[in-house]
Structure 1
Amino acid sequence: MAEWMMNQRRLADGTVVIEIRGEIDVAHADQLRSQLVATATAVRPVRIVVDLMHVTFIDSSGIGALAAGQNAARSVGVGFAVTNPAPFVRQQLRMMGLTDTFGVEG
């Protein structure tokens, strides 16, 4: 199992970028969900970008965490996008029909 890590940084334009490394599965989905929802509702940045470049695996609980983050962002008028998904992650999002929903970039 890959080491899990999540970092958050704010860009000059007010965007918050959340970078994730490792696997987004049942062991980490709640932590990601909490971070995304709190960022959307408490910080209220201009936009949230979830960078998945270094994510090696995502399951339904991870996809659910992304959906919860997007829903929270939408409810308070914050933009939301997923960027740089690794090939496996992109394939999972595409199979679920979520690439457009999550504004997948890169």
Structure 2
Amino acid sequence: MTEGLTSSSYDLRARLPGPYGRVYRSSTRTVVELHGEIDIAAATLIGAYLDVVTASEHEVVVDLTHVAFFDCSGLALLCRARRRTRENGGRMWVVCGGPAVLRVFRAGGVLEAFGTLPTLEAALAAD
């Protein structure tokens, strides 16, 4: 399920299954760029990839800019990724400017815990 995805921080590049995005390296951070509809079906497929990234990378950016739909399954997926990243001594940033996606973070009561950023550039430059 995760073939094509390596744990080497110097060669971490892969397309996520289906139309759900890609994983790539940008300077010192690993970017997980998600696309389309992130629902329970997508979360099931994407979860294994996020587990590999959060087990091996310490600076992770999840970019939701290209996400059209995001539900509680996606939020649970990101909560798990954030927890795993922090347990491994890392940090995670979430890029999200869409009001529909932000509404899910607010409804889940985690908007402030994630501290979402409006652009990928802001996340790559964040401390």
Q: TM-score, normalised by structure 2?
A: 0.73
Instruction: Go from structure 1 to structure 2 and tell me whether the alpha carbon gap of 1:4 and 1:87 turns closer, same or farther (over 3 Å shift).
Output: farther
Q: How many matched pairs?
A: 101
Aligned to 1:6: 21
RMSD of aligned residue pairs (Cα, Å): 1.5
Give the number of the structure with larger relative contact order, counting CA–CA contacts within 8 Å between residues 6 or more apart.
1
Partner of 1:83: 95
Listed as ranges, the matches of 1:1-106 within 5 Å are: 4-12=19-27, 14-41=28-55, 43-45=56-58, 47-106=59-118
Q: Specify the SS of the correspondent of 1:97.
A: coil
**Structure 1 vs Structure 2: percent identity of aligned residues?**
30
Q: Deviations over 1:67-100 (max 9, x none)?
A: 1111110110110111134220011111212112
**Structure 2: which 5+ residue stretches go unaligned?**
1-17, 119-127
Structure 1 stretches of at least 4 aligned residues deviating more than 2 Å after TM superposition: none
Higher radius of gyration, 1 or 2 = 2
